[in-house]
Structure 1
Amino acid sequence: MSPFGALREQLLGAADAFADAPAAVPEILSGLVDDVDRALREELEIFPVCHHSPASALAMARRLRDKQPKVIYLELCEDLGPLLGELRNCRLPVALQAFATDLDGFPAGWGPLSVVAPITEASAEYQAIAYALETPDVELVLVDRSSDHVFQWQPREEEAAAGHAAGEEAGLHGDAVGIEIGDLRPRFAELEEHLLHHGKVRHWSEWWDQYVEQPLAGADYDTYRQVMVLIGSLFRRLTPERGDRLARDEERERHMWTRMREHLAATGADPADCLYVCGAFHAASRVEEFGLAGGTDYEITPRTATRWLYGLIPSSHSAIEAQFGLAPGSVSIAAATWAKAVSRGGVQPYRLDGQKGARKKKAKAAPPAPAAQPVTDKLTGFLSSPPELDGVDEAELLGWCVDIVRLARRNGYLASTADAIAVYETSILLAGMRNRVRPTPYDFQDAAVTCIEKDSVPGRRDVRHLCEILLGGDRIGQVGYDALPPLARDVYDRLEPLGLDLSKRTVQRALLNLDADPHLQPCSQLLWMLRYLLPDGAVRPIMGSRRLGERSIQESWDLTIGQHQRAVIELGYEGVTVEQVLEQRLRRAVWDPKATAATALSAVENSILFLGSRRFTDELGARAVELLSAERSVDDAPEVLRRIRRLLAHYRATEPELPGWCEAFVTGGYAHYCTLLPSAFVADDTGVRQVGAMLGFLFSMESLALSLGCDRAQLELAVQQSHPESPAKVALLWAARSQLGLLPLAELRARCDDLLANPLVIPSFPLYITGFVQALESVPSLGPFVVEVISKAFARLPDSVLLPWLPKLITTLRKEAAELVPVLVREAGRTFPAALADLDAWTPPWTAGPATAAAPARPVTAGPANTLLAAHPAACDAVAALLGCEGGWGAVGAAPASGAAGELLSRHPSTATAVAALLA
């Protein structure tokens, strides 16, 4: 007969007593007892656990010493097994991770895929792992589905990465999917709300600590086991049938039982010497494959061709809480509860040999395994008897109260001894109001907030945060050097000359004098590559820069590699060295379907700065040529112009000739932008900035393009076929026609004067000015003319028009031509007088009319300029002929005659004087 017959009858009688209860209540209550009976009758012993539960860890440590199993089946992804031995080289908490970037068989939008399984010391899974790895002849078998199956079973209609639902706020875990052993939480919202309300608690972690953790911490193994299965069965039977989560849970259970039967059949192990560790939710499973006598026709699907990489990453209490939806501070409180239980004695936990941060204890000889005892009913007594009253631990509570006041003072609070007394009494009062004899850490937190925190928080931490620090804090794990992937170890080795402890989580300053210590140059090179690859803040330059044509003599860096150890480790999943990872990322960026020519040019620049491989750089440059010729928009024209100018300047300064891809880029870009120029002028979605950059490319690269075989007529035709309507683009077109010689400067000045004289055009005149300012990118010789146009506008427009127009002018220039305004200001500085006293006598150069033939030319005084011109008249005659001037010279050594050449020299004597000074 079932040992739980009496309990079943008692529960069914209680259901009958409530006549108005739903008809499903008797079935649910009877099913709870059936699930417990079924789990305990199973030939393979099932150990139900809850993740990161001190009660589960204590019960596990006791049971392992009593039973001494030879085989442990653990609910953990079966492909994570090889990582477990590396836990010896780490400081807990850490997380086992499976990572994949090259997907095959999954939607492209899911990548990268990441699965993490956090491990803390106060967890049953760590006790099982430590026992199996430290005890000879014990086999540990992971039986849960693989990391590949985790994503195979995700609904395919979810185009976003499946891990987003696991919590994006987990800083150390990112958007990875979290794997936990024993997720015990009601999946029926009304049930959880009911439990929290009647338990007089705020969140689920507090309810679990009060009603499960504390009662089971000192319970015997049979009681613990039956209660955990009962809770798992309750939550399972009240789980809504709709949704995919329950179906995935059942698939996991079929997978685990199939793997265990396969292992037993292959090894011939005795089930009596085995232990199956799983979540209490799975211990109450009702699938047909449950048990060693269950069905064997379940077929496990093969894995996809996705290549998975494995390693250990740092974890923390806060990361675990955020990822699994636990209350802040709950994992730290669990760790403190575990440490207190171990210090009291009565249980000797298992620890991996050499575990960092773990205290070494002398091992005791294991007692002989007791004989198996028949299953007896422990639930009836546990559920019917009131909890044992545990008196107030005055020493512990007083220590908390004194320490929180001391900590509050350090953080700016005006706390005193009276506050410590108030926190003590309030903690006891709150515990009594919540039907607790002994105050819990949650009662203490509430009491401290009530008594110490007044109107405002004086520092960065509030009292609740201080309580979490006091009760254990956010412990952050670390992966040891020996457990790091080769790339991470290579990074640590190559940065060793800096003399810093990179494992520290504090900010460390590295000073590099590259002239005095040239052996630090490789460290500088690596730091610049890490700055490109790692998240912001991991490697931050304070002094020094890395640009084309620049070399830093001294550099200063702030390094927080210890805080970003996970990012360094994940670089190791992409390659063996930092250079290999950087090359792969650059190649992936330029071959991305959304890559543009600007993206490829940026990759070329980074390749020159960081890698120095001419072959790889030429490959990226050839890809830039392909992307530019395939583009149908000019949105990136400003960036393309800026980057190709910088690259051409670099090659001209360092190479005897331009690379072939540079020449192809210039010729292809010249033809490409000439083709797109007419449509860009009239397109509404193409801004004046983009058109100005196109003209800047065409005019600044014109000489090089013509020398490489391009035809200037193509540019002239493109400009003549352009007919814009936007004022800014019209100004750009006028500037382009002026540069090509199709629009004389006098005619351009007359057109602008007509615009200023037209009251209908005045409101849009700032747009014309914007176009002229953008034209400075392609026609820098128009600088004096742009200053002239703006000056005329300020001089001629009345205040009623000028004052409303100024804000629009300023905002337009800031938005459309911010980087060109300094050029305009410098030109204005050369045009206007430098001193205020000279302003009254100053005459704007554009107000003086052109000199007539009858006007007497100003004589040129004797000097080096006159001597130079007289000695070489042919040069001046040639320039005059190009300008359409005719005239002759006087006697050698005398002032020029009154011809056109003499008139030109008389009007502009400073130019000849400057040339003479340069030639000495």
Structure 2
Amino acid sequence: MNGVNVVNGTHAMSKTTGTHDSTFSALREQLQQAAAAFAGGPDALEEILLGMVDDVDRAVHEPLEIFPVCHHSPASALAMARRLREKQPKVVYLELCEDMAPLLTELRNCRLPVAVQAFAGDVDGFPREWAPLSVVAPVTEASAEYQAIAYALDTPGVELVLVDRSADHVFQWDLRDGRTARKTDDAPGTSADKAPEAEAALHGEAVGVEIGDLRPRFAELEEHLLRHGKVRHWSEWWHQYVEVPLGTSDHDTYRQVMFLIGSLFRRLAPGDVGRLRVDEDRERYMWTRIREHLAATGTAPEDCLYVCGAFHAVSRVEEFGLHGTTGTFEIPPRTGTTWQYGLIPSSHAAIEAQFGLAPGSVSIAAAEWAKALKRTRVQPYRLTGQAGAKKSSAKKSLTPRPRGGQAAVPAQEPPAGDRLSGFLRRPPVLDALDEAELLGWSVDIVRAARRNGYLASTADAIAVFETSILLAGMRDRAKPTPYDFQDAAVTCIEKDTVPGRRDVRRLVEIMMGGDRVGQVGYEALPPLARDVYDRLAPLGLKLQQRTVQRALLDMASQPELRACSDVLWMLRRLMPHGAARPIMGERRLGERSIQESWDLALGKHQRALIELGYEGVSLEQVLEQRLRREAYGPQATAGTVLAAVEDALLYLNSHRLADELGTHALKVLATERSVDGAPEVLRRIRGLLTYYRTSEPALPSWIESFAKTGYAHYCTLLPVAFRDEDATVGQVAAMLGFLFSMEGLALSLGCDRAQLELAVAQSHPEDPAKTALLWAAQVQLGTLSRAELRSRCDALLDNPLVVPAYPRYLSGFVHALEPVPGLADVVVEAVSNAFGRLPDAVLLPWLPLLITTLRSGAAELAPLLIREAGRLFPGRLADLDAWVPPWRMPQTPPATRRTRSAGHDRRGVALLPAHPATCDAVAKLLGCPQGWAQADVPSPSGAGLLAAHPATCDAMADLLGCDGPWAASGPSPSGAVLTARHPATAKALASLLART
């Protein structure tokens, strides 16, 4: 009722002024009679119908000419081109974000369709979860907004003024309405339907802003129109009942019909208060900007043209028109968010997906636009130098040349009378069947289908031709539309299944004009994108093409390509998957490939490259900013910070940044109270430690501090982690791996090993896997012998209540190979004993659990276990029957072995004298100052050598695993006694070093 009151007040105002009260009086009487006949008396229907006429009357008689349009409508673009050539306005007011105006001149460097984008990575004044913010305005050649832009930019003395809200206000008003999830919001211009093609994602999650979002917001109305119009979707209804009739209509009829449609959809819109408030505020915003510009420049309203959507052209706000109320609407200031502006590639599929249009509708509209230009001979406006457009002469007049050589006469505008009555009473014009056009379509679709694997023939072309005419007749059409032809092609050619990637419906879209994908020219790119293309120029590839191109880099013969390799690796790190994909070659810490092969698709991912330019002026700057953002983010862990350190060394070779981030990783580690990131911390710090030890003369200070702090940190968390049910056995194993692998470095920096021993002693796990892991840690610390560990494993197998949980113990032992790799033989023994001792009735149900446990919990450690098993088990099947496992061989006490060696086996006495070169090698290995072999002694004596170096003998015995010291507690024994005591050691020494 509020809207009706506003209309009635406006109509009363028009009567008091005596300006245009009788323009649509005949139409009002007809609608009143129709409403009374249908509704049985005056009611809301009459108010709606008469209110629609009042809206049209008000918009038509506005002193500032309003040109209503619909987005990507060939009829609107054709009417716009005609009107611009007739009126030649000096100022064009355009419904587009006002802060995008400086970027429109770059359209001449692009190939349409493209989208003007406003982008903000860091937000100030908006919720953080909204970032990044993005607003796009797609532009196609078959659109009224492009005609207005091209006219204004290429015509001297014409000013283009964008009057719509800024990109900042787009999100301000969403925040004002209480919306908290920008990416899932049904904002105007967005659609939940996602096209399957990759081009549909060219706009990403940006909010679409476009002129003329004209579609019923009343679902029942749209359903009614589609059902009675015998069409499937809204795009087809618009093409059949609006595009075709308005394509040949005059200017006044076009305006009044568009005003009427806009008023109908506006009055039958549902009561969405938030959306209605945004629409009305946009209208107040635009009229406020228009009046401000007119007041500032003094331009006459008759020299201006206001281009806006038909929905906003019939606005009922008080600020509407030049005589509307002023001072009632204040434009709020912008937030502190810094916006970046640029052009990104767009496509027909992206526009359809974002604005909820039927697939292929924009492509069909482009084909209709080209056909309309040929039929009407209207000369459209194109920006000078526009990529993909025909070159036009600079001397060509903006007005059509008159025939017969007569002088050009300014076009006389017909009086703006009632054109709606005649248009609504006129029966639909039935276009004659263009058999040549339809026959050409049928032949072309069969040819395209055969190229894509369909078994189509001439008979199918005839069937498509006849079915198109049949479907058009069933839908009360004399001439088949492209949608009728598309249905006929699917029916006749796509018999059962789709053999290839494209179906017939997609082939028709391609044939009608295809999914044209725009391209931003080099001059319109941001500095970062131009810099990337310049740095990759030595590759000799056309990187702006959308095809995938192969780049071969041989840095050995062409060292200048190393710079290209650095750029490609940074692009792989920064851009989406597929933009730069390595085929051959890798980059690791301390390693560089001499040959690389890449698949590059930068043209296909041009939008992502352009958005990188919003973040910085070079790849190095953007990468450094992202690494800092990841490292200092609120969700950053020690593992992610160490990953940033690794990337700083890998891609930027920046030790300064690596040291800074490494110091921050130390702080993050000290604040962590869980062990979730322990595996990643262990993997990253091991790689960094290896890199610094092999490539740098000394370890950086932050690595030493990290090892020292991490040692104390994980010692503190170890008892809690063993008891925590949420901590996995892999995470606890990673903690122990850090402690044992960093132990030497940590102890050299002042850490106390007793802290680790106390932490292990205080650990009392209940989980079987963690219990086995604790036993392994005790073996590494020396508090548990291997014999005791073997006895505990045997006790587990002897206990029938524990046997079902034995796989979990084995999982803990396998994870123990991470911190204690020397236990591989014990793990192999534990698995072998289980298979050897358990009966089949117990083993067979238990085996799947064992396999799944090892696969899910310790898949990366299984190779170490397999290698150890391969070393212990015989390599031939024939040897398996007589093979005795090493752990089942009788073990002789150490005292007995020494006695037997001293009393019965003295063959080792002659080993060292027989191999003088071996003695010299051992001496050199152990750092002895003098050689063992003397030049003046013809045959060196092994007894003298061993007697002269008792410490060497002890070290060698310890190295080779011999029991007991070689040097006795008394005076140094002779070499004969030593070699006689340890013949196995002598043999191993000769086998290891001699062989000469």
Per-residue displacement from partner, 1:60-110 (whole Å, max 9, x unpaired)? 000000000000000000000001000000000000000001101101111
What is the distance in 2 between the residues matched to 1:79 and 1:910? 86
Structure 1 residue 743 and structure 2 residue 784: aligned? Answer: yes
CA 1:880–1:508: 2 relative to 1, 3 Å: closer
Contact 1:766–1:809 (CA under 8 A) maintained in structure 2: yes
The residue aligned with 1:360 is 391
1:872 partnered with 2:920? no
Q: Give the aligned residue type for 1:77.
A: C
Code of the aligned partner of 2:116 = L
Contact 2:74 2:368 in 1 (8 A): yes
Aligned mates of 1:123, 1:521 — CA distance in 2: 46
CA distance in 2, matches of 1:908, 1:433: 100
Superposed CA offset, 1:330-368 (max 9, x none): 000000000011123431100000000112244335255
Aligned to 2:343: 312
Measured in 1, the distance between the counterparts of 2:614 and 2:243 equals: 39
After TM superposition, the structure 1 = structure 2 runs for residues 39-54 of structure 1, keeping only pairs within 5 Å, are 39-54=59-74
Q: Secondary structure of 1:451's partner?
A: helix
Q: Which residue of 1 aligns with 2:964?
A: 885
Structure 1 unaligned blocks of 5 or more: none
**More displaced stretch, 696-705 vs 610-619:** 610-619
Q: Report deviation, 1:879.
A: 6.5
Pairwise CA distance, 1:802: 1.5
1:637-665 deviation per Cα after TM superposition (whole angstroms, max 9, x unaligned): 11110110000000000111111111111
Per the alignment, residue 302 of structure 2 pairs with: 272
Greater CA deviation, 572-581 or 343-352? 343-352
Q: 2: CA distance between counterparts of 1:887 and 1:607?
A: 52
Cα shift at 1:911 = 3.8
| 1:337 and 2:385 aligned | no
What are the residue-to-residue correspondences of 1:203-222 with 2, within 5 Å? 203-222=233-252
Residue equivalent to 2:10:
none
Which one is further off, 767-776 or 592-601? 767-776
- The aligned runs of 1:783-794 (5 Å cut-off) are 783-794=824-835
* Partner in structure 1 of residue 463 of structure 2: 422
- Counterpart contact for 1:529–1:610, Cα < 8 Å: yes
Equivalent residues of 2:911, 2:987 under 8 A apart: no
Contact kept in structure 2, 1:866 and 1:895, CA below 8 Å: no
- Structure 1: distance between partners of 2:390 and 2:790: 87
Q: Quote the offset at 1:767 in angstroms.
A: 1.1
Indicate the SS of the match to 1:277: strand
Using the alignment, how far apart are the partners of 2:429 and 2:913 within structure 1? 111
- Which deviates further from its counterpart, 867-876 or 9-18? 867-876
* C-alpha distance in structure 1 between counterparts of 2:62 and 2:552, whole Å: 65
Q: Which amino acid aligns with 1:139?
A: E
Separation in 1 of the partners of 2:440 and 2:458?
Answer: 13
- Give me the whole-angstrom Cα distance separating, in 2, the residues matched to 1:886 and 1:204: 94
Please state how far the C-alpha of 1:840 moved relative to its aligned partner. Answer: 2.7
Contact 2:126 2:175 in 1 (8 A): no
Which residue of the partner structure matches residue 350 of structure 1? Answer: 381
Deviation at 1:19, TM superposition (A): 3.7
Name the structure 1 match of 2:795.
754
Aligned match of 2:354 in 307, 316, 323?
A: 323
Q: Is the 8 A contact 2:95 2:308 kept in 1?
A: yes
Give, as a single letter, the amino acid of the residue that structure 1 aligns with 2:180. Answer: E
Q: CA deviation at 1:908?
A: 5.7
| Bigger mean CA offset, 776-785 vs 270-279 | 776-785
- For residues 271 and 791 of structure 1, what CA distance do their matches in structure 2 show? 96
AA of the residue aligned to 1:181: I
- Following the alignment from structure 2 to structure 1, what is the Cα–Cα distance between the partners of residues 208 and 913? 82
Q: Which amino acid aligns with 1:364?
A: S
CA distance in 2, matches of 1:692, 1:599: 19
Task: Please list the CA deviations of residues 33-86 of structure 1 after superposition, one character each: whole Å capped at 9, or x if unmatched.
Answer: 100000011010000000000000000000000000000000000000001000
Residue in 2 that maps onto 1:145:
165
Aligned to 1:505: 546
Q: Secondary structure at the match of 1:805?
A: helix
Matches within 5 A, 1:463-862: 463-852=504-893, 853-854=895-896, 856-857=900-901, 859=905, 860-861=907-908, 862=910
What's the counterpart of residue 402 of structure 2?
none
Aligned pair 1:179/2:200, yes or no? no
- In 2, the alpha carbon distance for the partners of 1:689 and 1:250 equals 59
Q: Is the Cα contact below 8 Å between 2:117 and 2:136 reproduced in 1?
A: yes
Aligned residues of 1:888 and 1:897 also touching (Cα < 8 A)? no
Q: CA deviation at 1:837?
A: 2.7
Letter of the 1:180 partner, please give it. E
Given candidates 131, 156, 160, the residue that maps to 2:181 is 160
CA shift for structure 1 position 913: 3.5
- Match runs of 1:427-438 below 5 Å: 427-438=468-479
The percentage of aligned residue pairs carrying the same residue is: 68
Contact map agreement 1:163 1:176 (CA 8 A) in 2: no
**Normalising by the residue count of structure 1, what TM-score does the alignment of the two structures yield?**
0.97
What is the CA–CA distance in structure 1 between the aligned matches of 2:671 and 2:833, rounded to whole Å?
44
Q: Which SS does the other structure have where 2:117 is aligned?
A: strand
Q: 1:111 aligns with which of 103, 114, 131?
A: 131
Q: Partners of 2:213 and 2:41 in 1: how far apart? A: 29
Residue deviations 1:497-546, cap 9 Å, x none? 00000111111000001101111000000000000000001110000001
Distance 1:22 1:238, change over 3 A: farther
Structure 2: distance between partners of 1:187 and 1:47: 22
Match of 1:89 in 2: 109
Q: Is the 8 A contact 2:35 2:42 kept in 1?
A: no
Deviation at 1:22, TM superposition (A): 8.0
What is the rounded CA distance, in whole Å, between the counterparts of 1:22 and 1:811 in structure 2?
Answer: 78
Letter in 2 for 1:840: D
Over the aligned positions, Cα root-mean-square deviation in angstroms equals: 1.9
1:164 touches 1:175 (CA, 8 Å); kept in 2?
no
Unaligned segments of structure 2, at least 5 residues:
1-20, 195-199, 400-407, 920-941
For residue 799 of structure 2, what is the amino acid of its counterpart? N
TM-score of the two chains, using structure 2 as the length reference: 0.90
- In 1, the alpha carbon distance for the partners of 2:652 and 2:847 equals 49
For 2:315 and 2:987, the matched residues in 1 are separated by 98
Partners of 2:955 and 2:337 lie apart in 1 by 73
Question: 1:736-758: CA deviations, max 9, x gaps?
Answer: 11111111111111111111111
* 1: CA distance, partners of 2:30 / 2:987: 114
Instruction: Rate the CA distance shift 1:712–1:189 in 2: closer, same or farther, 3 A.
Output: same
CA positional deviation for 1:876: 2.9
